[in-house]
Amino acid sequence: MTETTTTTRPVTIRDDVVIGGNDITLILGPCSVESYEQVRAVAEVLVAHGVRLLRGGAFKPRTSPHAFQGLGREGLEILRAVADEFGLLVVTEALGVEHVPLVAEYADIIQIGSRNMQHFPLLWAVGETDKPVLLKRGFMATVHEWLMAAEHIASRGNERILLCERGIRTFETATRNTLDTNAIALVKATTPFPVIGDPSHATGRTDLVIPAARAALAAGADGLIVEVHPRPEEALSDGQQSLPLEQVPALVDAARRIAEALGRGVPMPATR
């Protein structure tokens, strides 16, 4: 196969943030929205480091029905309130077709989770909204199936799609998943969609998040989505893979160094 010449088509959100341009985009936040105080604590750190996108889960898909399933609408209200207070944009997941109108009302970017990558009715539903979609790759999906899922969304008229590589399932058990940097390089080179790397789910361990974030960017990712938490040890979900807020500066610095090595950048915080 040969060098490709596809150029990424940037996605602009609220005439404000551009994803897929020269700058790297960071999307940070807790796995689950747990409280107003929790989200506010995260937002303060984001603003201090120039991060504009706040992620958080209000509806949580959990393997066990007995695990915390999220705050639902209250979680969305918390995200929106804190985001508006700090001038941030919200990325959050729609778990089912029935949630799409509600999520679209509160979110700036609608996330489709890994387990739902081939839930076609949901893809069609977000394809009929005017919100950008962060499409997580199924942990069992080939690159071909991932792009076909994007095609399901685009077929309903919404082409503002962000492809998110979050690790695939392999035989390796030392890490939660295997970050597929080959896939990042491949979709970056062969599709017009911006690519986001998720080092949190791809590794499942805090100590590997920053190296994996570097690898995703070096492979060509246009951004990163990373789970952070004020007190990971108390998180209601994914604590073992969440970065404590104290490590956000190290993450931003690592991303900036790799971005600059590639002739790209990471936005600086607005001066107050």
Judged by CB under 8 A, the chain residues 235 through 264 that form the site for a copy of itself are 240, 257-258, 260-262
Q: Which residues of 70-95 are buried (b: 16+ CB within 10 A; e: fewer)?
A: bbeeebbebbbebbeebebbbbbbbb
Smallest gap from residue 123 Cβ to a copy of itself (A): 8
Judged by CB under 8 A, the chain residues 139 through 168 that form the site for a copy of itself are 139-140, 142-145, 148, 151-152, 155, 167-168
Residues paired with 229 in a beta bridge: 244
Q: Can you tell me which of 111, 116, 158, 242 binds a copy of itself, judged by CB under 8 A?
A: 116
Among residues 124, 88, 85, 137, the alpha carbon closest in space to that of 108 is found at 88
Smallest gap from residue 108 Cβ to a copy of itself (A): 23
Smallest gap from residue 271 Cβ to a copy of itself (A): 25
Report if residue 105 touches a copy of itself, rule: CB under 8 A.
no
Q: Which range in 28-36, 101-109, 135-143, 225-233 contacts a copy of itself by CB under 8 A?
A: 135-143
Give the interface size with a copy of itself as a residue count (CB under 8 A). 74
Whether the CA torsion 255, 260, 264, 267 is positive or negative: it is positive
Report if residue 233 touches a copy of itself, rule: CB under 8 A.
no
Tokens 């995260």 found at: 42
Report if residue 188 touches a copy of itself, rule: CB under 8 A.
yes
Report if residue 98 touches a copy of itself, rule: CB under 8 A.
yes
CB 51 within 8 A of CB 28: yes
Smallest gap from residue 218 Cβ to a copy of itself (A): 4
Tokens 């747990």 found at: 34
Smallest gap from residue 229 Cβ to a copy of itself (A): 16
Among residues 22, 89, 102, 16, the alpha carbon closest in space to that of 58 is found at 102
Cβ distance to a copy of itself smaller for residue 68 or 86: 68
Question: Which uninterrupted H or E stretch holds 161?
Answer: strand 161-165
CB 133 within 8 A of CB 164: no
Q: What region, left, alpha or beta, does residue 157 occupy, with left being phi > 0 and alpha being psi -120 to 50 degrees?
A: left
Cα 209 from Cα 33, distance rounded (Å): 20
Q: What region, left, alpha or beta, does residue 152 occupy, with left being phi > 0 and alpha being psi -120 to 50 degrees?
A: alpha
Cβ distance to a copy of itself smaller for residue 19 or 141: 141
Q: Which range in 15-23, 84-92, 215-223, 226-234 contacts a copy of itself by CB under 8 A?
A: 215-223
Report if residue 170 touches a copy of itself, rule: CB under 8 A.
yes
Judged by CB under 8 A, the chain residues 7 through 46 that form the site for a copy of itself are none
